Amino acid sequence: MFGLLPDSIIFVALYGFLIIGLVITIKTYQLWGEDQLSKKDKVTLLILFFYNMLNFIIIFSILTIPPTEASGNGNPHIPYIGLSMILFLSFSILIANQGYIRWKHKSMLIKYLSLFFTLIVILISSYLQLNFVNSIERKLNYSMNSWWEWWKDIHLNNLYFNIFTFVLIISFSLFISILFSLFKKIECQNLD
């Protein structure tokens, strides 16, 4: 689909998309620690969620070359993937912060149930990610023993950016926020 476009247009489109994500991410960091979010703030967070989801889809679908195609020399998408990773981790930290603020007012039962549910989602996502890695290993006949070198291969970009890692990291952020709010509640009860 993009093969017909000049490289300069593809470059501008991809990195322009990253700049948009950077601007939205910086804008949402003004929400750090806010107890009450306006509808506009909630919409901005939702837009950032969908932005990151779309970015995962771009890397998974467009920036990962199928194993049947020649990849050229190395992985030219490393800068894009690195910046995307920073944006997504920033979003995940913001989700953990906002989650903590929301969970600290919930009852202990709700916190324990939510903690259990997010743990189940983390375990399922981890299991599915490991199965995905094994399927890629079989499909490419590529040894995953040297996993530190995966990032060099353009055929393996989707190992990092797929639905399983997306759900895993978001769930882990929520898990951490619930855990901190739970510890804060226990700490407050011990002080009383």
**3-state class of 14 per DSSP?**
helix
Mean pLDDT of the chain: 84
Tens digit of pLDDT for each residue in 65-89?
877 777 666 777 888 888 999 999 9
Separation between Cα atoms, residue 63 and residue 160, nearest integer Å: 12
CA angle 59, 61, 65 (to 5 degrees): 90
Tell how far CA 144 is from the center of its chain. Answer: 22
**Where along the chain do its domains lie?**
7-191
Nearest to 51 by CA among 80, 79, 31, 21: 21
Q: What tokens does 38 get?
A: 């306006």
The whole model's pTM is what? 0.83
Q: Are 45 and 37 in contact (CB under 8 A)?
A: yes
Separation between Cα atoms, residue 120 and residue 155, nearest integer Å: 30
- What pLDDT sits at residue 152? 74
Separation between Cα atoms, residue 114 and residue 142, nearest integer Å: 38
Tens digit of pLDDT for each residue in 126-151?
999 999 888 877 777 766 666 666 76
Helices (H), the chain: 7-28, 39-61, 78-103, 108-140, 163-191
Q: What tokens does 116 get?
A: 């259990």
Q: How many other CB atoms are found less than 10 A from the CB of residue 78?
A: 13
What are the angstrom distances between the C-alpha of 2 and each of 5, 58, 82, 112, 171? 5, 12, 21, 47, 33
Percent of the chain with pLDDT over 90: 32
